[in-house]
């Protein structure tokens, strides 16, 4: 086993420079975000593209027929890749896993009496969102699912009207890599046989299929719907798939929407009627022109994957071997006082008590010698400098992160009201972390990638120094009382811009969630409405706001180089005068969105103010203020 793993590792070491020139001296450890595409895939795709004339498959020309023919071949090839018999399953090409989930959701919302939606706690945000379409929805943990299987029904009260129930779960969590039993699908189907309410299963295999063989050879035990993201397996193309068990296909007859290419005939004027395509399921579901070139690239992707890595089993055993080493390595790093540096959330793939096991993902947080949590934002800055590519934060897995970190809904809501959004600098709130560090591996990861990361954690986060050989609490108290005193306090009136030193002798309100005037304003991108951050726009550090109570103004000065014609200072009143802001109910009013949740901000109307910031940062943006009470009380509006 070990020899085989070493042989694979040597092979990757040998081809990596040639096949992945884009890596250079970076260390890429975010394969759960997307894996990397090899050069031979891109070369072979380029050859294919320039050697053939590909037309739109909806036309009748020879080039169209060629496209059609190739796409159908690839569809079969992909099904075979998952051991799925084309007579039992159909593959629908979609933009990404999320689009596949939405297609299923679209079908279920067509039930006249609605449907029940049950989803596992470890679900990706994209699965959670389906609950908005359901009549009843419930979030379950593994224990609940086991009980459901055992008893044939759920104790929790669900409205019994709907005739159909959809249960969705990830085969592997994108947060900590934990795997969930593929056998649940069949067990739930059987358990609900006599209940009068049919249970359908939706398996999110986007993370799982990236490094493991997904085997659908037994149609009886397979999920009704399986969604995938091909870029997570191959690095390219940017494409997703929905694999539907033909037995469950009639569900899609309820889908109301139809798009170009999915209907045989449509009448519009005097009579409104349409005939959906009936020949194959995928024809009726692939709205509009297919992502032709992406699908064609999938052929090169399958080819290159096989040539470089062998089988999916080989990839699975290599990544599992590396993950054990990474997990062990991080767990072993200890401070001088014997306390662990890493608090591990993932289980090791070689943990015998691990249930369905764990994929090549290690999620953890860092603690100091005295047990204080290390800020993710601080880590991120160092990680970037040292050329590691990892992911930190909430990871689009709200239930998983909350359960892992023991965050209660009231705490999360309180954090939200206090101004916490994903991507904030302030990620340790009330002494608790609000996100995790995720390191994930792929088919082209090597031993050296793993060892470098462990060495990095050891070098920068291990503290050997141990001045007082006393208990933890005692030493904190001593440190606090002996020589610590507050010299100055800064607030950051505009999120991510320079700080403002609180003048001595001026009373300053401290609210439950922090200092007054801290992050009262932010800059939002004109196109996306996203709040700008210093990470992306380092010049924000040179924008210094100052609060002048006597003038009742916030004055913003820019301390960087600017052409002489551009002003270096602007002011806005501290008071909230509605006249100064864009009306909120127009489509023009923007929302600042961070991490998918929307918070309505009030945007200043003044063109001068917007131009001041846009000129400095070289990006169209505007100054915005959180609504009254936004950073002060618990009443931040969440846009639905």
Ligand X SMILES: *Cc1c(COP(=O)(O)O)cnc(C)c1O
Distance CA 558, CA 571 (A): 12
Query: Nearer Cβ to ligand X, position 122 or 590?
Result: 122
Shortest distance (Å) from residue 157 CB to ligand X: 29
Shortest Å distance, C-beta 242 to ligand X: 11
Which of 35, 98 has the CB closer to ligand X?
Answer: 98
Question: Closer CB to ligand X, residue 240 or residue 435?
Answer: 240
Q: Give least dist CB 29 to ligand X, A.
A: 15
CA distance 46 to 307: 18
Q: Nearest to residue 34, comparing CAs of 172, 240, 233? A: 233
Token digits of residue 501:
């030193």
Task: Characterize the bridge pairing of strands 388-389 and 27-28.
Answer: parallel
From first CA to last CA, the distance across the chain in angstroms is 51
Helix and strand tally (H, E) in the chain? Answer: 17, 30
Instruction: In angstroms, give the least distance from the CB of 124 to ligand X.
Output: 3
What is residue 104's three-state secondary structure?
A: helix
CB of 530 to ligand X, least distance (A): 18
Closest CB to ligand X among 172 and 533?
172
Q: Cβ(68)–Cβ(290) under 8 Å?
A: no
Burial (CB count <10 Å: 0-12, 13-18, 19+), residue 456: middle
Residues 6 or more apart whose CB falls under 8 angstroms from that of 557 comprise 543, 544, 546, 568, 569
Is the separation of the CB atoms in 257 and 284 below 8 Å?
A: no
207 or 436, CB closer to ligand X?
Answer: 207
- Closest to 383 (Cα-Cα) out of 447, 459, 496, 497: 459
The DSSP code for 633 is S
By beta-carbon proximity to ligand X, the closer residue of 165 and 229 is: 229
Binding-site ranges for ligand X (CB under 6 A): 96-98, 124, 126, 170, 174, 204, 206-207, 229, 240
Q: Give CA–CA dist 568/356, Å, rounded.
A: 60
DSSP E strands, 411-466: 428-429, 432-433, 436-440
Query: In the bound complex, what is the minimum distance in angstroms from residue 400's beta carbon to ligand X?
Result: 10
In this structure, how many other beta carbons lie within 10 angstroms of the beta carbon of residue 551?
11
CB of 206 vs ligand X, minimal distance in Å: 4
Instruction: Single out the residue of 420, 421, 435 nearest to residue 376, CA to CA.
Output: 435
Q: Which residues are catalytic?
A: 396
The nearer residue to ligand X, 216 or 547, going by C-beta atoms, is: 216
């Amino acid at each position: 086993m070990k020899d085989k793993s070493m042989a694979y590792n040597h092979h990757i070491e040998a081809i990596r420079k040639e096949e992945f020139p884009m890596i250079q001296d970076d260390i890429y450890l975010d394969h759960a975000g997307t894996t990397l595409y090899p050069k031979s895939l891109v070369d072979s795709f380029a050859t294919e593209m320039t050697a053939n004339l590909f037309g739109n498959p909806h036309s009748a020309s020879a080039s169209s027929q060629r496209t059609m023919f190739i796409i159908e071949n690839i569809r079969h090839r992909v099904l075979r890749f998952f051991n799925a018999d084309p007579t039992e399953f159909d593959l629908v090409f979609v933009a990404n896993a999320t689009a596949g989930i939405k297609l299923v959701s679209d079908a279920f919302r067509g039930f006249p009496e609605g449907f029940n939606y049950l989803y596992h706690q470890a679900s990706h945000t994209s699965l959670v969102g389906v609950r908005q379409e359901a009549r009843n929805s419930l979030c379950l943990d593994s224990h609940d699912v086991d009980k459901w299987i055992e008893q044939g029904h759920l104790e929790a009260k669900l409205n019994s009207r709907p005739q159909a129930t959809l249960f969705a779960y990830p085969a592997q969590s994108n947060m900590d890599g934990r795997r969930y039993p593929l056998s649940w699908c069949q067990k739930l189907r059987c358990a609900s046989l006599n209940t009068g309410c049919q249970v359908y299963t939706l398996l999110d295999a986007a993370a799982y299929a990236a490094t493991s063989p997904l085997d659908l050879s037994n149609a009886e035990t397979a999920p009704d719907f399986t969604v995938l993201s091909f870029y997570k397996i191959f690095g390219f193309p940017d494409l997703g798939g929905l694999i539907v068990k033909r037995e469950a296909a009639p569900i899609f007859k309820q889908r109301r929407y139809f798009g170009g290419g999915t209907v045989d005939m449509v009448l519009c004027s005097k009579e409104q009627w349409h005939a959906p395509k009936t020949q194959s399921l995928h024809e009726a579901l692939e709205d509009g022109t297919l992502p032709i070139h992406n699908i064609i690239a999938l052929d090169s992707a399958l080819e290159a994957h096989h040539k470089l890595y062998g089988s999916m089993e080989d990839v699975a055993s290599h990544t599992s071997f590396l993950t054990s080493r990474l997990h062990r390595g991080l767990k072993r790093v200890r401070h001088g006082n014997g306390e662990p540096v890493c608090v591990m959330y993932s289980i090791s793939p070689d943990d015998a008590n691990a249930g369905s096991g764990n994929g090549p993902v290690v999620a953890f947080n860092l603690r100091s010698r005295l047990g204080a949590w290390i800020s993710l934002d601080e880590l991120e800055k160092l990680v970037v400098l040292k050329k590691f590519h990892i992911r930190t934060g909430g990871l689009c897995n709200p239930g998983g992160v909350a359960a892992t970190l023991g965050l209660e809904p009231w705490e999360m809501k309180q954090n939200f009201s206090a101004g916490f959004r994903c991507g904030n600098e302030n990620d340790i709130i009330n002494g608790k972390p609000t996100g995790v560090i995720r390191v994930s591996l792929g088919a082209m990861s090597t031993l050296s990638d793993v060892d470098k990361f462990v060495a990095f954690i050891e070098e920068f986060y291990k503290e050997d120094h141990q001045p007082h050989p006393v208990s933890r609490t005692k030493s904190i108290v001593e440190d606090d009382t002996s020589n610590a005193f507050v010299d100055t306090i800064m607030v950051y009136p505009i999120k991510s811009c320079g700080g403002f030193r609180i003048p001595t002798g001026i009373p300053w309100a401290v609210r439950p969630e922090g200092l007054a005037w801290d992050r009262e304003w932010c800059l939002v991108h004109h196109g996306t409405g996203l709040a700008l951050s210093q990470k992306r726009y380092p010049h924000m550090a040179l924008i210094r706001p100052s609060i002048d109570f006597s003038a009742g103004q916030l004055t913003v000065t820019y301390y960087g180089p600017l052409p002489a014609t551009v002003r270096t200072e602007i002011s806005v009143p501290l008071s909230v005068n509605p006249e100064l802001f864009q009306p909120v109910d127009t489509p023009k009013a923007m929302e600042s969105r961070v991490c998918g949740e929307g918070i309505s901000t009030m945007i200043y109307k003044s063109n001068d103010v917007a131009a001041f910031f846009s000129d400095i940062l070289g990006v169209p943006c505007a100054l915005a203020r959180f609504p009254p009470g936004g950073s002060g009380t618990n009443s931040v509006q969440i846009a639905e």
